[in-house]
Amino acid sequence: MNDVASPDANIRSGIFETACDVLGAAVLVYDNNDCLVFASRQVSRYFPIKADLLKPGARLRDILGSIFDAGLRYGIPPEMRHKMINREEWVSTRISAHWREHHEAIERLGRDRWIHFRKRRLPNGYNISTLTDVSEQKKQEEQWRSDLDRIALTEEILHTLPNPLVIKDRNLAYVAANKAYSDIYGTDSDSILGRSIWDLTDAENAERIERDDRSVLDSGAPISVREHIVRVDGSDLYTITRKHRIGTPGHYFIVTVMQDVSELAVPDAVIVDGEVVVRSPEGFVEAQNCFDPVRDAEKRMLREQISIDGVANFANKRVLVATSNPRVEAFLLGELQSCGADCCAVRSIVEHDAFLSMAAARGVKVDLVLVDDNLIGQDGVLQNAYGVPVRLVAPEGIGQDFLRALAEEHELLSGSEPPMGDIVTPMGFSDDWYIATDVDALTPGAVGDVEVLVAEDNQINQFVFSQILEGMGISHRIAENGEEAVALWRKHQPRLVLMDISMPVKDGLDAARDIREAEKVLGTYTPIVAVTAQALNVDMQNCMDAGMDDYITKPVSPDMVETIYRRHVLEKSRKSVA
């Protein structure tokens, strides 16, 4: 008896190994006693086990045990992966799968490796197992699913956009269109895809749109046009249409976004030179949202203070600015430089003295020192020891000059003629901006010609109230103490009083009581709303006891004032009419 393998068997084994290399698969063959008959050399690429266990005659149980010991745990359900796995249970489970007539699964080995297991039991009891690395395929599938999710999200976002949007390829065929665009033509997005503009509109408009698309596609320069479109239901749509090119050479796309400006289209004259005429929203001024009227008035005051006889003549002069306020420093230096001055700044009296001392020692003449009156110790600068002229500036002074600057700014913004000459009396203010300071000097007014009376002693808050009420188109007067408020109430009989609680001469509570007492004689009633810095229960109760009807807290806002006005004036008027 000869136990030596025949030469033909060795040839068949070599052919088998070569076939495994070509297919990129590992193969294991077991007999009907679960002993290894053949293992291709590719098996070691999948399982880090000893070479002795991959020789013919090795038991399946020993091979599985070695795989488990190497840290590999395939074939475990997801809900069991966080639990402790028993070695014998895992081996027994894998042997059970091994004895199935056919078994196939894709298992994850490690962080980013996926293996396709195939097991087939032949009629003679032999088992053939193959292992194939499908990691790249799984990564592509995961990327594909991720891309699909991303595409679905993008389509959902596009469809929910309120403005019509469409995307065309380099052949100007539609590849994407949102719901707003589809609604213009009374169709759905899927019906538009793959078609062209020639399928959706008349030849004249189609030719114009295609010409614009070609221009953007060829040049890459975006364009913006105003269009008049008639929807499928016959309604008019006025848009500002913007076209952009995206993508890479050879793969360009045209993105068209249409902004609905139907509310801004000029009626009865919508087409001029082939384009829709669009008006600006009423009251819109470029960069108006960046305008600060208080700061602008402050700057105008500073310009007046540094000028001589109305002329800022600083050309070729050396000027030193002494201020600890960076904002004031930046403004003054900017103004001086624009006038041709050679200037710099110091931020304390110590720096001021040191600068002038060094300038004198070097023979450098300083022509003028501008001193901020808020600078600590500025009194000592006014009489400096170097004979340099000094001028005091008050950048944050709140007084007649500041209020005059605000009033002038108001006149300019409202479009009326600017006041002639200096404003030296309260009567110089426009009617709605009048701030009472002398009750005896008030001009007579018709009863009820003022809608709102504001009692407020803080001049910044006075300005805020005036801006809000003027923006609402409400005539008003402002009193700066409680006594003045009572006098103005008697004179004008307003429809609403906004009463600050804390004021000099007479506080808001006493003023409210005086008004209520007077109303008993006159037989009238005016809603009084308290304006307070804090809304404590005790404060609110004191306001109610003084006869007030409501309250608002500082800082006040336009919405707050409008709500109060509607509640106590407009609604009351409606009830009276009813």
Over residues 304-326, the pLDDT tens digits come to 777 754 445 778 888 899 888 88
Q: Final residue of a domain: which of 230, 251, 276?
A: 276
Q: Final residue of a domain: which of 133, 163, 183?
A: 133
- pLDDT, position 120: 85
Domain coverage including residue 58: 7-133
Count of structural domains within the chain: 4
Whether 297 and 374 share a structural domain: yes
Q: Final residue of a domain: which of 375, 393, 411?
A: 393
pLDDT in tens, 37-76: 888 877 877 887 787 788 888 888 888 888 888 777 777 7
Spell out the SS3 assignment of 101-170.
CEEEEEEECCCCCEEEEEEEECCCCCEEEEEEECHHHHHHHHHHHHHHHHHHHHHHHHHHCCCCEEEECC
CA dist., res. 20 & res. 400, Å (int): 99
- Is the pLDDT reported for residue 365 higher than 50? yes
Query: What is the share, in percent, of the chain residues with pLDDT greater than 90?
Result: 10
Which residues, in sequence order, are bridge partners of residue 370? 321, 391
333: domain CATH number? 3.40.50
| Other Cβ atoms within 10 Å of 169 Cβ, number | 16
Whether 129 and 169 share a structural domain: no
- pLDDT, position 383: 61
244: domain CATH number? 3.30.450.20
In a domain, 281, yes or no: no
Whether 349 and 375 share a structural domain: yes
Average pLDDT, whole number, for the chain? 76
- Is the pLDDT reported for residue 386 higher than 50? yes
pLDDT in tens, 190-228: 888 888 888 888 888 888 889 999 999 999 899 988 888
463: domain CATH number? 3.40.50.2300
- Is the pLDDT reported for residue 440 higher than 80? no
- Is the pLDDT reported for residue 511 higher than 70? yes
pLDDT in tens, 149-182: 777 777 777 778 888 888 999 899 998 888 888 8
In a domain, 282, yes or no: no
- Is the pLDDT reported for residue 344 higher than 80? yes
- pLDDT, position 121: 84
In a domain, 92, yes or no: yes
Burial 249-285 (b: 16+ CB within 10 A, else e): eeebbbbbbbebbeeebeeeebeeeeebebeeeeeee
User: Model confidence at 578, in pLDDT bands (50, 70, 90)?
Assistant: very low
pLDDT in tens, 80-135: 666 777 888 888 888 888 788 888 888 777 667 788 888 888 888 888 888 888 88
CA dist., res. 209 & res. 428, Å (int): 59
- Which residue is it, tokens 């110790």? 377
pLDDT in tens, 250-306: 889 999 998 887 776 555 444 545 555 555 444 333 333 344 555 666 677 777 777
- pLDDT, position 387: 78
Total residues found in the chain within this entry = 578
- Which residue is it, tokens 């208080």? 294
- pLDDT, position 398: 42
Whether 129 and 149 share a structural domain: no
